[in-house]
Amino acid sequence: MNKWLRKSLVILFSIATFGLVTPPASLAAVQEKPTEDTVSNSTVSREETEQAAQSNINIEEGKTLSNEEVLSNILLEAEQKSFVKFGDKIGHVIEDEFKQVIFPKMEEVITYYLNVEDDELFQHIEISKPSGGTGEKIFHIYHSQTGEDLLRFHVRRENRPLEGYWFNFHYHTYHDSFQSHKDLGSIYWNKNTPPNWMSFH
């Protein structure tokens, strides 16, 4: 029952009985409701809580990632960019073999350069987008401040006589100005010409 209605009934009851009978306890009892102070306090608390949560998020976003976190993010992005490169038409066919044979070697190379080599160049890195069509680039790992490539991961189409088409995966490093091909392995396609990279159904 509303507070004003309860008060009105108490007053009417008193007038009707000339004040000789006290109003029933059910009318006299006023349920405790939050006062303005309580409401404003709870609002402040909620606002403070939201601000604190937001500042925690900001601290989380602004914090320096550990080597393990950087590596984990880079490896995840490397796998995602690889499948963007393949597109659906090629990706569905070579997915299992790529994950079992090729990508573990990619992980090994990236992990080596990020951790073992301990080069300052690898403290600020990003991954580029893949190329479509018949281009070889899967992704390049580059220095985000200078824009210079550090590692280049490529896949080349090879039409081997009497065998058909293969995808040869390899990488290049900045150490020799990306001249030598470092092999990661090959995956067989078939005797038909493969679709373009980044082709989707």
If one compares 126 and 53, the residue with the highest pLDDT of the two is 126
**Rounded mean pLDDT of 104-126?**
86
Under 8 Å CB-to-CB from 173, ≥6 apart: which residues?
A: 113, 150, 151, 152, 182
Q: What share of the chain in percent tops pLDDT 70?
A: 68
Domain map (residue ranges) of the chain: 3-62, 67-188
pLDDT digits (tens, 9 = 90+) for 133-155: 999 999 999 999 999 999 999 99
Whole-number pLDDT of residue 122: 76
- Asked if residue 111 lies in contact with residue 135, where contact means CB atoms within 8 angstroms, the answer is no
- Looking only at the bridges linking them, the beta strands covering 149-160 and 137-143 are antiparallel
Flag whether the pTM goes above 0.85: no
**Rounded mean pLDDT of 171-177?**
95
**CA pseudo-torsion sign 139, 140, 141, 146:** negative
- State the alpha helices, DSSP H only, in the chain: 3-16, 25-28, 36-62, 67-97, 103-111
If one compares 70 and 63, the residue with the highest pLDDT of the two is 70
- Asked if residue 199 lies in contact with residue 95, where contact means CB atoms within 8 angstroms, the answer is no
Under 8 Å CB-to-CB from 181, ≥6 apart: which residues?
A: 170, 172
pLDDT above 50 (res 168) = yes
Q: Name which of 24, 153, 132, 142 is nearest 87 in CA terms.
A: 132
Q: Name which of 74, 85, 93, 65 is nearest 166 in CA terms.
A: 93
What is the rounded distance in angstroms from the CA atom of residue 27 to the CA atom of residue 12?
A: 11
If one compares 30 and 125, the residue with the highest pLDDT of the two is 125
pLDDT above 50 (res 46) = no
